[in-house]
Amino acid sequence: MKKKMRNMQKMMAVILALAFMVPAISGCGGQKTSVDTGGAIKQTESYEQDTEAAEQAKEELLDQAPEEMAKKLDDVVLSCPDMPLTNEPLTLSVIYPKETIHGDFDGMFYMKAVEELTNIKLDVQAVEKQGWNEKVGLLFASGDYGDIFLSGISFTDAASYGQAGMLLPMEGLLEQYAPNAMRILDELLPESRRNVTADDGHIYAMPAYDGTPRDMLMNYTQMINVEWMNSVGIKEIPSNTEDMYNLLRAFKIKDPNGNGKEDEIPYSKVYDGEGVDPFICAFGYVNLRHDIIDGKYVYVPKEENFRHYLEYMHRLYSEGLIDQEMFTQKDEDYLAKRTEKLIGMGDSLQDPLTDEEYAATIKTLPPMTSEYNSVKMTPGRFQEVNSFSMCLTDKCDEEKQIAAIKLLDYFYSQEGTYLIKCGPEAGVWGDMIDGGYIRHENEDGTVSYELQYDREKYNDSYYNFRIDNGLMNMPFFYTNAHAQVIIGGDAKNKRVTEGVYEANLLEARRVGYPSTVTFTEDEQDILATFVLMDNFVDQMVAKFVTGEETLNDENWNAYVERLESMDLQTLLKTRQGAYDRWMNKKL
């Protein structure tokens, strides 16, 4: 108990530090699973470290092309368990982060459908997503929390709360009651064990899996206005930073929108020091903060090529080629400019356009190189979506644990993921919901999909329809079979995917510092102190780019010395150690 309280106090210290320092219905048939409510939960030994095996696994894991990874899953159909999942009705209380666009959980179609199919009622205890980490920490500290989580808990958080005794190990239950989950871990994606297994050898969270090539990229919606390009007489999308400078300058001075005003914004963004932009990749990094180069952790803001990146950004900013409000504007400001079609290059320029306008005017931006880096790259990720994970809390009794794990296995089934990610099949659910996808079998043997929903109510967005009627952000096993519904039935979404291939983004995919690396509580305590360093970097980036601080040798060296004085070496050692431990987990 003392250890549990000590761990909880340490976690709360980290959480609070971060919070305040950073501004017709039928059951589905399939594989049968036996119900054994009397079995004790199994424990597993800690994973051993094996350097040679880890290095081999590293090569296999990081070098796989998205198409190859997705191809392994193309013909996979995870079976739906026999329904209902429980003989008697059972309720699971769910702590869940509520998005502003979520519908009413109590009357939500998805909740009714799951209860109808499985005999399990999901009683959602909604927590507003803003300030989620702090609120969850307070819930755990109070002891007043529900049976399970379905979203919002990262692998690191799960390991911390699990080792503190507030989340339960899942591996024994998975072996007994979740054949789909075990097939994922043992056969389909064995490398996933590295990510789902905590350092003590237990599994405290089981994530969503997205095995489609496009979604193994992190920054595939950077767009450029080719109508503007045609207007200024440039036919080819730039593949290097110098040609991009010339294009953005033409956007600035040649009135590409033809209204006689100099109101064009050649490039706009909302600055995020933890994220990525298309220019940093041209200088050899896939993140503005953290990266892995040749197996070594790199704090990007102290690297020489980061200085060259800042020099380039200052050049653009000083000539008005970058939005002069990039460091101060909010998302809504950017969206307003995008809606007014004032931006020549930026994120998701296709959103306010019709399908026809999108096809005629917007292209996906390909990766660029620079004089300092000749390798094209774009940031990638693994197939786990670790924030969409199921976790079992210590409030969950044995009967509920078994029910929850069976429910997880249903989520992973092909039919379960259809309902989560694709929404309802139109006409199948009677008066429970109006709308969904329609499957058409064509004369040539192909299959196509039509999306039916109230387009005015949902602002012409099938995503809005789905998230108003379902949770969506939760465990699933998403493959090309599901993507055919979402992408094939939505012309704009299909065009985004086509743009990824046209821009050759998949060939340039590189995974940086993995989001699946976990940190011990001591490491979390250490890393929490570096929020101040990150804030300092963000301030200096703004000063260097805007010219408030001259980017010369004297000021750059002073900046780097300041980073060193803020204990940079400890940061490098801590993140390197966590990465090495992650790499050395025996699969």
Tell me, yes or no, whether 211 and 309 share the same domain: no
- Return the structure tokens found at 237: 């999308």
CATH of the domain at 411: 3.40.190.10
pLDDT of residue 359: 84
CA distance 451 to 472: 17
Does residue 572 fall inside a structural domain?
no
DSSP annotation of 149 reads E
Tell me, yes or no, whether 104 and 124 share the same domain: yes
In this prediction, residues 469-495 reach a mean pLDDT of 91
Does residue 438 fall inside a structural domain?
no
Number of domains present in the structure of the chain:
2
Tell me, yes or no, whether 203 and 324 share the same domain: no
Identity (one letter) of the amino acid at 231? S
Confidence check: pLDDT of 586 > 80:
no
Percent of the chain, pLDDT > 70? Answer: 88
Does residue 22 fall inside a structural domain?
yes
Tell me, yes or no, whether 252 and 312 share the same domain: yes
- Return the structure tokens found at 533: 């360093």
Of 68-82, 88-102, 200-214, least confident by mean pLDDT is 68-82
pLDDT of residue 369: 98
Tell me, yes or no, whether 112 and 206 share the same domain: yes
In this prediction, residues 93-110 reach a mean pLDDT of 94
Tell me, yes or no, whether 190 and 210 share the same domain: yes
Tell me, yes or no, whether 109 and 208 share the same domain: yes
User: Which letter, b or e, does each residue of 552-578 get, where b requires 16 or more Cβ atoms within 10 Å of its Cβ?
Assistant: eeeebeebbeebeebebeebeebbeeb
Tell me, yes or no, whether 90 and 166 share the same domain: yes
pLDDT digits (tens, 9 = 90+) for 493-515: 888 999 999 999 999 999 999 98
Cα distances from 275 to residues 121, 281, 432, 488, in angstroms, run 38, 11, 41, 30
Angle, vertex CA 498, rays to CA 502 and CA 460, nearest 5: 140
Does residue 162 fall inside a structural domain?
yes
The pTM of the full predicted model, rounded to 2 decimals, is 0.83
CA distance 346 to 343: 7
CA distance 152 to 154: 6
> Residue written as tokens 């995020």?
272
pLDDT digits (tens, 9 = 90+) for 207-252: 999 988 898 898 889 999 999 999 999 999 999 999 999 999 999 9
Tell me, yes or no, whether 267 and 353 share the same domain: yes
Does residue 506 fall inside a structural domain?
no
Kindly write down the DSSP assignment for every residue of 216-257, as one continuous string: GBS-TTEEEEHHHHHHTT--SPPSBHHHHHHHHHHHHHS-TT
Ranges of H-type helices in 126-240? 132-142, 155-163, 171-177, 179-183, 192-196, 226-231
pLDDT of residue 49: 39
| 508 and 378 Cβ atoms separated by less than 8 Å | yes
Tell me, yes or no, whether 396 and 328 share the same domain: no
pLDDT digits (tens, 9 = 90+) for 395-407: 999 999 999 999 9
Question: Which backbone phi and psi does 335 adopt, to 5 degrees?
Answer: -60, -35
Tell me, yes or no, whether 270 and 393 share the same domain: no
pLDDT of residue 58: 47
In this prediction, residues 266-279 reach a mean pLDDT of 92
Average pLDDT, the chain: 88
- In the chain, count of helices (H) and strands (E)? 24, 16
CA distance 570 to 449: 53
Tell me, yes or no, whether 127 and 76 share the same domain: yes
Does residue 205 fall inside a structural domain?
yes
In this prediction, residues 154-181 reach a mean pLDDT of 96
In this prediction, residues 114-136 reach a mean pLDDT of 95
pLDDT digits (tens, 9 = 90+) for 307-332: 999 999 999 999 999 999 999 999 99
Does residue 455 fall inside a structural domain?
no
Query: Which residue would you say has higher pLDDT here, 565 or 357?
Result: 565
Confidence check: pLDDT of 87 > 60:
yes
Of 4-8, 185-189, 207-211, least confident by mean pLDDT is 4-8
Grade residue 352 by pLDDT with cuts at 50, 70 and 90: confident
Grade residue 70 by pLDDT with cuts at 50, 70 and 90: low
pLDDT of residue 28: 59
Grade residue 489 by pLDDT with cuts at 50, 70 and 90: confident
Beta-bridge partners for 297: 292
| Residue 234, domain extent | 222-380+513-518+531-566
Does residue 168 fall inside a structural domain?
yes
Query: Which residue would you say has higher pLDDT here, 356 or 173?
Result: 173
Identity (one letter) of the amino acid at 39? G
